[in-house]
Amino acid sequence: MMEYKYQLATPLALRVIGPWLSASENIDSKSMMVAKQLSACTLLQEDAMLQELINTLEASANRRIIVIGHDNADSDAIGAGFAVAELLGAPLAIPNKISPPAIEFAAALKKDIIFQPQLTNYDLAVIVDTASQKQLPGITLDQYVIIDHHKYNELMEGALADVHEPLDSTCQLVYRLYLTVGRPISKKVALALAGGIVGDTVGLTKASGQAILELGQILKAGGIELQTVLGVMKISRRMDKFKRLRAASHLQLYEIGDLAFCVGPIEHDYLFYTTSLFIELGADLALAYAQEDHRLCLRLAKSRNSQAHCHALAMLKKVFPATIDQNLWGDEFFAGYEGVGNIEDVLRSILQEL
Ligand SMILES: [Mn+2]
């Protein structure tokens, strides 16, 4: 069913998108008219959404386009952003930073990423994997389109066009965009899209059949293996065996009812990797910290498999109530703090909360 749908869409989309993808190629007004008529007849909602986006992009031919993923970018934002940027020959930007788990992955794609982009330098922004203005600190949107998979998206209202469907990942929507315009999937684009799917489905443990099917198609189209993607995504890859074992040997275990809470010191650069390591070992909740005099940097992670009724960010907000936002960030499963603090006090507060 899906295969058929895309085969149908490809020649049409190629005509519409042709002049925009390659400025040298001329399109006659007749075929454009036919394309528009056909486009108006599109019955499938997703095709219509994709087509509207393509039309908007086509109307922006020769204008300056920038692709932007949400702040604290994860592998879905990076992967989808990379693939769209490749498709458009546009730069990729992130408001402030890449999320630690996605740093290795972003580096493997070898594309320059612009931080704190100046939108006044561009005519159109393609926003990927982003559901609210809050995820775009410091960015004032004007002319933009959206490609996103979050169930609720606050940015759709002001967008010129949107491709929005509640799937497992934005990368699947970008894959469908590639199919619709008939652009081949290169090895790197396959890695980007597959990485986004693997990331947003927590290493495929939460993947729907549809996501796994599309992942398979992406791997096949790009001629890469899942093993390659997993290797690039492997979280504790950056820690060598001695660092991993040393971190494990310094961990303190708190058993609170059925809850396993692991705490350990580590150098600043390995905070995230250490919490991941503890979770991999079976912790429900993991805290890694670096204490340098009065300065404390820590990361708190919750296992996705845990039944623990705790919210990592909410927990840190209780522990550091007066902290300004920039020093404290995260979500239910992973949160970080950097600032003044003492690990003994912090640990006491957390244990009280648990
Ligand atoms: Mn996502």
Go through the domains of the chain in sequence order and give each one's CATH number: 2-233 (3.90.1640.10), 241-353 (3.10.310.30)
Half-sphere exposure of 68 (CA within 13 A, CB side): 32
As beta bridge partners, residue 256 has 259
Q: How far apart are alpha carbons 282 and 284 in whole angstroms?
A: 6
Written as tens digits, the pLDDT of the chain (354 aa) is 333 333 333 334 443 444 444 433 333 444 444 444 444 433 356 778 888 888 888 887 778 999 999 998 999 999 999 999 999 999 999 999 998 778 889 999 999 999 999 999 999 999 999 999 999 999 999 999 999 999 899 999 999 999 999 999 999 999 999 999 999 999 999 999 999 999 998 788 889 999 999 999 999 999 999 999 988 887 666 678 888 899 999 999 999 999 999 999 998 888 988 998 899 889 999 999 999 999 999 999 999 877 778 899 999 999 998 877 668 988 888 899 999 999 999 999 999 998
State whether residue 77 is helix, strand or coil.
Answer: helix
Residue 202 C-alpha to ligand 1 middle, in angstroms? 11
Residue 128 C-alpha to ligand 1 middle, in angstroms? 9
Residue 243 C-alpha to ligand 1 middle, in angstroms? 31
Residue 76 C-alpha to ligand 1 middle, in angstroms? 5
77: CB partners within 8 A, 6+ apart: 69, 70, 94, 102, 128, 129, 130, 170, 196
Mark out the alpha helices in the chain (DSSP H runs). Answer: 2-21, 29-41, 45-59, 75-88, 100-109, 170-181, 187-200, 209-222, 226-233, 241-249, 271-281, 312-319, 343-353
Tokens of 229: 């993607």
* pTM (2 d.p.): 0.66
Residue 68 C-alpha to ligand 1 middle, in angstroms? 13
Residue 168 C-alpha to ligand 1 middle, in angstroms? 7
Residue 80 C-alpha to ligand 1 middle, in angstroms? 9
* Strand ranges, E, within 247-316: 252-256, 259-265, 285-292, 295-302
Residue 185 C-alpha to ligand 1 middle, in angstroms? 20
- Residue 38, judged by CB atoms within 10 A of its CB (0-12, 13-18, 19+), counts as middle
Residue 295 C-alpha to ligand 1 middle, in angstroms? 33
**279 and 299 Cβ atoms separated by less than 8 Å:** no
CA dist 306 to 15, 285, 317, 337, Å?
50, 8, 21, 22
Q: Other CB atoms closer than 10 Å to residue 312's CB: what's the count?
A: 23
- At 236 the pLDDT is 62
- At 57 the pLDDT is 85
Residue 132 C-alpha to ligand 1 middle, in angstroms? 13
Q: How far apart are alpha carbons 98 and 231 in whole angstroms?
A: 19
Q: Which residue has the tokens 């899942």?
A: 226
- At 99 the pLDDT is 85
Q: Other CB atoms closer than 10 Å to residue 63's CB: what's the count?
A: 12
Residue 169 C-alpha to ligand 1 middle, in angstroms? 5
| Distance from the first to the final alpha carbon of the chain | 50
Residue 256 C-alpha to ligand 1 middle, in angstroms? 33
* Contacts of the segment 3-8: beta carbons below 8 A, 24+ positions apart: 5/44, 5/47, 6/176, 6/179, 6/180
Residue 73 C-alpha to ligand 1 middle, in angstroms? 9
Residue 151 C-alpha to ligand 1 middle, in angstroms? 11
Residue 306 C-alpha to ligand 1 middle, in angstroms? 21
State whether residue 55 is helix, strand or coil.
Answer: helix
- At 47 the pLDDT is 79
Residue 70 C-alpha to ligand 1 middle, in angstroms? 9
* Parallel/antiparallel/unpaired status of strands 259-265 and 252-256: antiparallel
- Residue 61, judged by CB atoms within 10 A of its CB (0-12, 13-18, 19+), counts as middle
Phi, psi of 288 (to 5 degrees): -120, 140
Q: How far apart are alpha carbons 68 and 78 in whole angstroms?
A: 9
